[in-house]
Amino acid sequence: MYDKELYEYKAQIVKAMAHPSRLMIIDALANNEVCVCKLQELVGGNISTVSRHLSVLKNAGIVSCRKEGLQVYYSLRVPCILNFFGCVDAVICEDAKRKQSASTVLSVK
C-alpha cells in the first residue's frame, strides 16, 4: 500500500530543488560547507534572494547551517542528494541521444 504522506514529503523535497539557483547551491555544497557570501557570488542577486533559496532548502531538510561570528556556513545534510543529479544528467543524455537519432533519421529521408 502507498503512504500518501510519504509521497507528499518526497514531493516537498523535489519541489525544494526545483529552481536553477537551488540546484547551483546544492552543487556548490557537494564537497564542503560554503558561506552565504560565496553562495551569493555564485547565484548572483541580492542576499535576501539567496537567503530565501537557502531557507527553502533548509526547510526541506536538504541543507544545514552553522554560524561562525557574523558568517553563516551551509552544508548538505545528506550528500547522497547529489545522486539525484546523476539521474537528471542521465535523462538529459538519453534525451540528447534520442534527438540526435531522430535528426539523423530525418536527414536520411
Q: Which residue has the higher pLDDT, 12 or 2?
A: 12
Q: Answer yes or no: is pLDDT of 101 > 80.
A: no
Q: What's the domain range around 11?
A: 4-78
Q: DSSP letter at 78?
A: -
Q: Answer yes or no: is pLDDT of 96 > 60.
A: yes
Q: Which residue has the higher pLDDT, 100 or 38?
A: 38
Q: What is the pLDDT of residues 20-78, one digit of tens each?
A: 999 999 999 999 999 999 999 999 989 999 999 999 999 999 999 999 999 999 999 99
CATH of the domain at 70: 1.10.10.10
The pLDDT value given to residue 97 = 87
pTM for the model stands at 0.82
Residue with cell 518526497: 10
Contact assessment for residue 73 and residue 33, using Cβ atoms and an 8 Å cutoff: yes
Distances, alpha carbon 55 to alpha carbons 63, 98, 99, 100, 104, in Å: 9, 37, 37, 39, 45
The pLDDT value given to residue 34 = 97
Indicate the number of domains in the chain.
1
Q: Does residue 94 sit within a domain?
A: no
